[in-house]
Every structure is written in C-alpha cells, then in structure tokens.
C-alpha cells in the first residue's frame, strides 16, 4: 500500500464507524447517518424504517435533522407518533435540496439524487480534505448520480451476492402493467402489495401507461401519496380505502406485510411486489396471485457497476443492515478495490 493509502486507511479507521445495533453510520466528528450516534447533525437518506432508526434519540441529542424536503415532509406526516416529538422535529429539521451544500465548521454535506424511493438521496461529506460518499440504499438508472472522485465510498449490500442478479430489469414494468390490465379486465379489482414508496412508484407507472381507474389505499398510504402530490408527483384519482363503496373497478394498494391475509376467493387479482425474485419478472403463486420482481435496490451487477464507475480509493461496505457484505467485499477485492466491511465480523 502506498503511503497516501496508508494514511487514508488510518483516517477511515478513526473517522468512519458503523454500529451494529444502532445502525448509525458515523462520519467524522459531526455526522450521524441513518441511525443514532452522538453527533450534532443527523442525516436521514430516505423514509424506509431501517434508515429512520433512533430518530427519537437524535431529536434529543442532535442540533439538526437533515434530509431532502420530501423526505422530511414524509417523516413529519407518517413516521412521528406524538405531538412532542413532532414539535421537536419541526424545530430541528433542516431541509436540503439536491446539490445544495450545507457548511458546518470545517466540513460540508451535500445530498445527491438517487432513484431508490421518493425523496431518497446519497450523501457527500467533505471533511479533513477527505471526500466521503454514502449511497444510502441505491437503485441505478433514472436520475441516480454516481459519485466520482471519492476517497471513500460507503455502499449498501442488500443484493451483494452473485446469486442476486436480475437480468430482466427492463421487462418487469411491462409485465406489471400487463398483469394489472388483465386483472382489471377479468376481475375488475386488483390488489397490489408493496412497501412505501414502491407503491407510489407503481401508481405513477400505471398512470403513465393509461390506467385511469381509481386508486384506493389505507390511510397512511393515502397521506404519503398526498405529500407526494404536494411535491409535484401527480397521481390523481386516489382515495381512502374506506371510500371504496362507490367504485366498481379499481386498484387497491396495501402494505407488503398484509399480503399474507390476501383474498384468494376469485373476487380480486392479487399482485405482490418484491425484489427477492431472480428467475422471472413475474410468477404465479396461486390461482389468483402473481408475484412481480419489482425492486428498488441495485442487484449484484449494479452494485459492482456503481463501484467501478465511481472508482473510489477505498470502499466501505455497510454490514449493519440486511445484505451480503462479505460476498460483495470478496468480489470487489478480486477487482482490485481496497475494501472494508463495517461493522467487521467480530464487532
Ligand atoms: Zn430503502
């Protein structure tokens, strides 16, 4: 290893920490990302629950909660339980647009676009003359920007194993649209199960492909969708589930966890959205249910592509969330990247 590289590796070991239990990614003295640690700035990359961990503790400890305006609005609308927490959040939230730079003492923070889910960002921290990028959860394509000229790239590892490849990325949307059309024709009613963000992404696909039937959804999905409309993500003709009596044909959107209670009596067509499918874009699992492989994460090939195009000096792989960090590290090391997995196996 060159002297510069030795110095950088030493800097990483002192300044970057990922905690197994809080899942906080700490960068330097000031930044706690996607989990609680005792730093003045808490950054939230996106709305998914494994990135909102410890927000209550951060609200007490940190001076600022930073995220994109959309992410912060979504948190305020659907993720805060009591009015005391909400007041604290309102006082400490610090919205930052994509590309806008927040200066803090001798450091800076910039949020960058990422198609993972609505409002999601990657982050770039510059401190001690070192450029550190963290992808958050990442999906390639669309508006996602690959960070360049990094000293350190911190990357997620959800599909970090060569077993997790989706060669059919392009065709998934077509299969989804066709299945919804078929369901509306044959059943009149389609129920779609997925996670927050992914549901609204599907709503947009359907609308842009000419599906104009009413969309129904439970209260919390309705509120999130209303926030998106406020931010110019226009869906239209959407209603609360309890208002469904007037409608004969419609698409109902529900949380993924409810899929196990789905109706399989022939009155509706069910569609379950999951990233954990690698053989086919769509698969029938019972008489009235299709599983469709719509993912909002990079698969193995995309993770490798990201790192190769970014070409950082050092890669740090997040092992605190679900994923395959060690297999990803192995492949990256084979391609010549200096790679650390944090927290390491022992810690
Ligand atoms: Zn996520």
In angstroms, what is the span from residue 116 Cα to ligand 1's centroid?
Answer: 7
287, 254 contact by CB (below 8 A): no
Q: Is 347 a member of any domain?
A: no
Answer yes or no: do 235 and 326 share one domain.
no
Q: Is 145 a member of any domain?
A: yes
Answer yes or no: do 58 and 144 share one domain.
yes
Q: Return the bridge partners of 102, or none.
A: 109
In this prediction, residue 169 carries a pLDDT of: 80
Which residue shows structure tokens 């998934």? Answer: 172
Q: Residue 227: pLDDT band by 50, 70, 90 thresholds?
A: very high
Contacts of 84 (CB under 8 A, 6+ apart): none
In angstroms, what is the span from residue 246 Cα to ligand 1's centroid?
Answer: 35
345 pLDDT higher than 80 = no
In angstroms, what is the span from residue 197 Cα to ligand 1's centroid?
Answer: 9
Any idea what the Cα angle at residue 141 is, between residues 208 and 110, rounded to 5°? 110
247 pLDDT higher than 80 = yes
CATH code for the domain of 88: 3.60.15.10
Answer yes or no: do 13 and 107 share one domain.
yes
65 pLDDT higher than 90 = yes
Q: What percent of the chain has pLDDT over 70?
A: 99
172-209 pLDDT per residue, tens: 999 999 999 999 999 999 999 999 889 999 999 999 99
In angstroms, what is the span from residue 89 Cα to ligand 1's centroid?
Answer: 21
In this prediction, residue 347 carries a pLDDT of: 54
In angstroms, what is the span from residue 267 Cα to ligand 1's centroid?
Answer: 32
170 pLDDT higher than 90 = no
| Domain extent for 146 | 3-163+297-342
Answer yes or no: do 110 and 93 share one domain.
yes
Answer yes or no: do 13 and 140 share one domain.
yes
> Could you give the 3-state DSSP secondary structure of residue 289?
strand
Answer yes or no: do 263 and 338 share one domain.
no
Mean pLDDT for 31-54 is 96
Angle between helices 300-310 and 325-334 (to 10 degrees): 50
Answer yes or no: do 152 and 190 share one domain.
no
Average pLDDT, rounded, for the chain: 95
259-314 pLDDT per residue, tens: 999 999 999 999 999 999 999 999 999 999 999 999 999 999 999 999 999 999 99
Largest Cα–Cα distance in the chain? 71
In angstroms, what is the span from residue 245 Cα to ligand 1's centroid?
Answer: 34
In this prediction, residue 229 carries a pLDDT of: 96
Which residue shows structure tokens 């129904």? Answer: 216
Answer yes or no: do 305 and 288 share one domain.
no
Q: What percent of the chain has pLDDT over 90?
A: 90
In angstroms, what is the span from residue 51 Cα to ligand 1's centroid?
Answer: 7
In this prediction, residue 224 carries a pLDDT of: 94
In angstroms, what is the span from residue 228 Cα to ligand 1's centroid?
Answer: 17
Answer yes or no: do 281 and 262 share one domain.
yes
216, 241 contact by CB (below 8 A): yes
- Nearest-angstrom CA–CA distance, 334 and 131: 24
CA distances from 222 to 15, 24, 262, 288 (A): 41, 30, 20, 25
Provide the domain count of the chain. 2
In angstroms, what is the span from residue 120 Cα to ligand 1's centroid?
Answer: 8
- For β-strands 130-134 and 121-127, DSSP reports them as antiparallel
* Of 102, 114, 167, 165, the residue nearest 143 (C-alpha): 114
In angstroms, what is the span from residue 135 Cα to ligand 1's centroid?
Answer: 11
Tokens of 261: 């209670």
Mean pLDDT for 79-83 is 88
Answer yes or no: do 128 and 181 share one domain.
no
Answer yes or no: do 132 and 266 share one domain.
no
């Amino acid at each position: 290893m060159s002297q510069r590289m030795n110095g950088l590796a030493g800097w990483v070991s002192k300044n970057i920490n990922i905690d197994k239990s809080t899942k906080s990614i700490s960068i330097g003295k000031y930044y706690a990302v996607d989990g609680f640690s005792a730093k003045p700035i808490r950054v939230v990359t996106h709305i998914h629950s494994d990135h909102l961990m410890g927000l209550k503790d951060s609200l007490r400890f940190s001076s600022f909660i930073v995220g994109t305006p959309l992410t912060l609005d979504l948190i305020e609308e659907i993720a805060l339980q009591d009015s005391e927490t909400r007041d604290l959040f309102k006082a400490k939230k610090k919205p930052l647009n994509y590309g806008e730079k927040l200066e803090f003492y001798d450091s800076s923070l910039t949020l960058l676009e990422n198609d993972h889910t609505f409002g999601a960002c990657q982050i770039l921290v510059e401190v001690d003359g070192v450029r550190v990028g963290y992808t958050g959860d990442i999906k390639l394509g669309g508006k996602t920007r690959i960070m360049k000229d990094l000293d350190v790239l911190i990357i997620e590892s959800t599909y970090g194993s060569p077993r997790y490849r989706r060669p059919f990325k392009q065709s998934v949307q077509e299969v989804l649209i066709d299945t919804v059309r078929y369901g509306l024709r044959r059943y009149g009613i389609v129920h779609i199960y997925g996670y927050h963000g992914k549901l609204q992404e599907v709503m947009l696909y359907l609308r842009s492909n000419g599906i104009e039937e009413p969309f129904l959804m439970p209260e919390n999905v309705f509120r999130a969708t209303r926030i998106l409309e406020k931010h110019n993500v226009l869906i239209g003709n959407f209603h609360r589930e309890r208002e469904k009596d007037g409608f004969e044909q419609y698409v109902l959107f529900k949380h993924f966890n409810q899929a196990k209670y789905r109706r399989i009596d022939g009155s509706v067509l069910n569609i379950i959205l999951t990233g954990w499918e690698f053989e086919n874009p769509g698969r029938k699992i019972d008489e009235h249910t299709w599983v469709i492989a719509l993912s909002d994460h990079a698969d193995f090939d995309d993770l490798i592509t990201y790192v190769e195009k970014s070409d950082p000096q050092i890669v740090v792989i997040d092992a605190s969330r679900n994923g395959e960090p060690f297999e990803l590290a192995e492949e990256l090391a084979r391609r010549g990247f200096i790679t650390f997995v944090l927290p390491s196996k022992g810690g």
